Amino acid sequence: MAILSFLGGPVIKGLIDAYNAHLKATTDDKAIAADLAGKEIAAQTVELQEQGQTKRAQIGHPWEPEKLFGYLMVIYFGKLTLWDKVIGSFAGYTANIFNTDPLTGEALTWAGWIMVFYVGKRGFENIARILKQR
C-alpha cells in the first residue's frame, strides 16, 4: 500500500484511504452486528427465564395442599376403578379384599367438593381471564 501511494500520488493515496475507511467500516459493522447479536441472545435468555418463572407461578408446586387432596382422590378412585372393578371382576373374585367401602358422611362431602373444585376451577379461571381482558 505504501509503495502504491508513493508511486501514484494523491489520487492513489485517496483511493487507498477510501479503501482503508471501507475496511474499518466493515469491521465496525461486524463488531456492531456481533454486539447486537449478543444482546439479542441475552434478551432471549432473560425472556425464557421469565416465561419459566411465570409458568411455575401459574402451575405451582406438586406438594401444595390442593394438589395433595387431588392426589388422594385420584388414588381412591383409581383403586375403586382398577382394583375393585377391573381386576376384581376379571379375576372373578368377590372377596372383601378387593372391595373398598364407599365414602360416607363428611368424607363423601369433602370428596365431592374436591372433585367440583378440580373440574370447575379451570373453567372459572378462563372466564375470569376473558372478563378481565375486556
Whether residue 35 is predicted with pLDDT greater than 60 in this model: the reply is yes
Q: State how far Cα 94 lies from the chain centre.
A: 47
Higher per-residue confidence, 56 vs 75? 75
Q: Distance (Å, rounded) from C-alpha 67 to C-alpha 65?
A: 5
52-61, 92-101, 122-131, range with greatest mean pLDDT: 122-131
Q: Give tens-digit pLDDT for 66-105.
A: 778 788 888 888 887 777 777 766 666 655 566 777 778 8
Q: Which three cell numbers stand for residue 102?
A: 364407599
pLDDT at 60: 73
Phi and psi at 62, nearest 5°, equal -70, -10
Which range is least confidently modeled, 2-6, 20-24, 53-57? 2-6
Share of the chain above pLDDT 90, in %: 1
**56 near 63, Cβ under 8 Å?**
no
- Of the pLDDT bands very low, low, confident and very high (cuts 50, 70, 90), residue 3 is low
In the 8-state DSSP scheme, what is residue 84? I
pLDDT at 110: 84
Higher per-residue confidence, 78 vs 61? 78
- Of the pLDDT bands very low, low, confident and very high (cuts 50, 70, 90), residue 5 is very low
**84 near 99, Cβ under 8 Å?**
yes
